[in-house]
A and B are shown apart, each in its own frame.
Chain A
Amino acid sequence: MNGSEIFFESLRREGVDLIFGYPGGALLKVYETLHDIEDIKHILVRHEQGATHMAEGYARATGRPGVVLVTSGPGATNTVTGITNAYMDSSPMVVFTGQVPSSLIGNDAFQEADIVGITRPITKHNFLVKDVRELASTIQKAFFLATNGRPGPVLVDMPKDILNASCAFEWPEQADIRGFKPTLKCHQNQIEKAAHKIAEAKRPLLYIGGGVITAEASEELQELATKLDIPVTMTLQGLGAFPASHPLSMGMLGMHGTYWANQAVNKCDLLIAVGARFDDRVTGRVDTFAPQAYKIHNDIDPTNVDKNIKVDLPIVGDSKNFLQGILKALPKKAEKHEAWLNEIRQWQEQCPMTYTVEEDSLKTEFVIDQVSKQTEGNAVVVTDVGQHQMWTSQYYRFNRPRSIITSGGLGTMGYGLPAAIGAAFGVTDRPVVLFCGDGGFMMNIQELVTAVHYRIPVKIFLLNNSYLGMVRQWQELFHQEKYSFTDLEDSNPDFLKVVEAFGCRAMRAETPAEAEAAIRSALDYNEGPVFVEFRVIRKDMVFPMVPAGGSISDMLLERLNPKTMV
């Protein structure tokens, strides 16, 4: 077999049936081989960054690794943002890059870039294949690393001569990586200690991150929470791990979390962090975070333990293993928490998440709330980055895991559209909905071609306030209202015309009534992508809000009602 054939045979062995790619000089042999392959579907993107976000959207929606194939040099460097995004959000992804022939590496050859050097700090690991006999085993290692332990992106750089060279195909029984032995099983003594702490706590709080979704541990989480009446708050990536419709759900915590979730963090006597990493957007000022709580922290990555917050009881291991262990080790007699839940209910009443509806103007919260209602919290919801992203976390009521696909760690504008397309390739039994701002939509708008070409039934909901709204919000609140380069009104295109030119169905809504109808019609249309532009109020702000670096007890609340804001 030649290198290209080995490449595809290795993908087959890994169960890959879908790759997102873009051809180029260093990959000519691979695309020659691909021409006659039918069991692996290749999706032609329009920019390599798009391929990486699609692969990540696919991975997050399905739990299977996303696969990217791009050429050397610019093809490779265009993947950098997408790889970093996957690294920050622990998404399994394998990126294959073509490379100039081995003999030219280091010569500043045409379309050469040291992509292995460039991506070292943003991949879980990466490889340069130097011998065709190592190609298959390297691919096997790449998939093993991407999907085991804490998932992440892995890059394999394949020089052109390796793809042309031949050798016998050999597939090792299993990937052998001496330096990679992730701890999956939690320490039993620690589990028992944690179980007793949980049983004794008066004011416990479960703080749930994306690790619970990766570990597919939602059922165990629900069992634990409901058994002991423990309220559950989730990070942005953890949303959906516990159903929003359940009375024990506190919604999101942190900078734009609910008032009551943050109050609960402040007042709890036991904080049980599962698959979460105490990110700065969650903790605010670290020295005032959960000041009264005994802190238990379960994470699969030991480096997350004691990184931002010193905890009392670290338990390294897979979150499913952790929750199962706790359920088993719980003593028969455990506290219920009626008083604690009542206290939380009071905070909920004090400061509910509400918004006003006016007949002739449209609020983003209303649009998201409507989509949440019409999809009954069961859609796969993809967001871009900014105000609409935070409103999505607040007003879409996620009822199932693997339902929110969003750029949390890196905060990549332009992520949403390709990620939604990728998710829609993986999930066909639920609607895939994208909420996007007008700024981010322009950053990868070329991928609309991909959606139209493959007739991907993704619902693109553009929340157009003609501002870089989140930056504008900070300018208003913290930067003396100097609206420096955030007003896009004079420069934005006519989105309807643009989208129609791509061959995509497009609608516009400017009032709540129009919005409701447009959402209905978009959800009913499944022949291809559909686009709705919502002209929303321009200067709305996301509240509640913890100012950056502030304590979460100092939430900005009084402007919760936007009418008093302007």
Chain B
Amino acid sequence: MKHLISVLVENKFGTLNRVASMFSARGFNLESISIGETEDPEISRMTIVTRGDDQIVSQVLKQLNRLIDTIKVTDLTRQPHVERELLLMTMKLSKATQHEIFELINVFKGKVVDIKQKSITIEVIGSPDKINTTIDIFRPYGIRELARSGAVAIHRGE
């Protein structure tokens, strides 16, 4: 099953590499990883999406904890949390399709960030599931390029 893990790490060079290479060295699945500074500039938060049965995920959590640069590891999967991903996507645009495309952008609460004669770039924010659906729905209109940020997530406040 899919797990969403939030890791606070020292904001130092090489930390991302330590985490990523631990996943590859131990043969753990790494679906996405995103990292950014927190309110404390010495600390970064990583959001990791991985898959595995309970035994494997328990090893993932322990191995993350074992790295010296990790400060706190939380499995958000079964806790109240908010999870978001950003999608940037450029598609073909033509007279015939533009009407439908704009309607769909509204349906997904997306934004147009750039528009040219023959192409349009949009952004969509949502859960990774919503991003998957978005991509599926837009695919028939001709996706030129897309970039996903990977999930970021945080514990819901009290």
Contacts and interface: CB of A to CB of B under 8 A. Distances in A.
A107 interface: no
B132 interface: no
B75 interface: no
Interface stretch (B61-69, B95-103, B110-118): B61-69
A120 interface: yes
B59 A307 contact: yes
A145 interface: yes
Contacts, number: 41
A178 B9 CA distance: 10
A177 interface: yes
A128 B12 CA distance: 11
B71 A178 contact: yes
Contact of A178 (B10, B25, B67): B10
A120 B21 contact: yes
Given A117-B17, A121-B25, A178-B10, A303 B68 contact: no
B67 A302 contact: no
Which DSSP category, helix, strand, loop or mixed, fits chain B's interface?
A: helix
Contacts of B63: 303
A302 B60 CA distance: 11
A128 B14 CA distance: 10
Interface string B45-58: 00000000001001
A125 B63 CA distance: 13
Contacts of A180: 68
Contacts of B55: 306, 310
Given A120-B14, A120-B17, A302 B25 contact: no
Interface in A167-201: 177-180
B130 interface: no
Interface string A110-153: 00000011001100110010000000000000000100000000
Nearest to A150: B66
Nearest to A124: B68
B125 interface: no
Interface in B20-40: 21-22, 25
B121 interface: no
A370 to B, nearest CB: 43
A303 B62 contact: yes
B144 interface: no
Contacts of B66: 301-303
Interface string A82-121: 0000000000000000000000000000000000110011
B18 A120 contact: yes
Contacts of B13: 128
How large, as a class, is the contact surface on chain B?
20 to 34
A180 B14 CA distance: 17
B44 interface: no
B58 A306 contact: yes
A386 to B, nearest CB: 27
B67 A179 contact: yes
B18 A145 contact: no
Interface string A452-471: 00000000000000000000
B14 A116 contact: yes
B21 A121 contact: yes
Contacts of B71: 178-179
B70 interface: yes
A179 B17 contact: no
Contacts of B65: 302
A179 B46 CA distance: 15
Contacts of A310: 55
A525 B65 CA distance: 50
Contacts of B18: 120
Nearest to B22: A121
Nearest to A178: B71
Nearest to B63: A303
A123 to B, nearest CB: 10
Contacts of B58: 306
A120 B59 CA distance: 19
Contacts of A302: 62, 65-66
Contact of B68 (A145, A305, A307): A145
Contacts of A117: 14, 17
Contacts of B21: 120-121
B14 A179 contact: no
A457 B18 CA distance: 42
A17 to B, nearest CB: 27
Nearest to A310: B55
A125 B68 contact: yes
A121 B17 CA distance: 10
Contacts of B22: 121
Contacts of B67: 179
A124 B59 CA distance: 17
Contacts of B17: 117, 120
Contacts of A307: 59
Interface of B: 9-10, 13-14, 17-18, 21-22, 25, 55, 58-59, 62-63, 65-71
Given A121-B21, A121-B25, 4 more contacts: A125-B69, A301-B66, A303-B62, A306-B59
9 contacts: A117-B14, A120-B18, A121-B22, A145-B68, A179-B69, A180-B68, A302-B65, A302-B66, A303-B66
The 4 closest A-B pairs by CB, nearest first: A125-B68, A303-B62, A179-B71, A302-B62
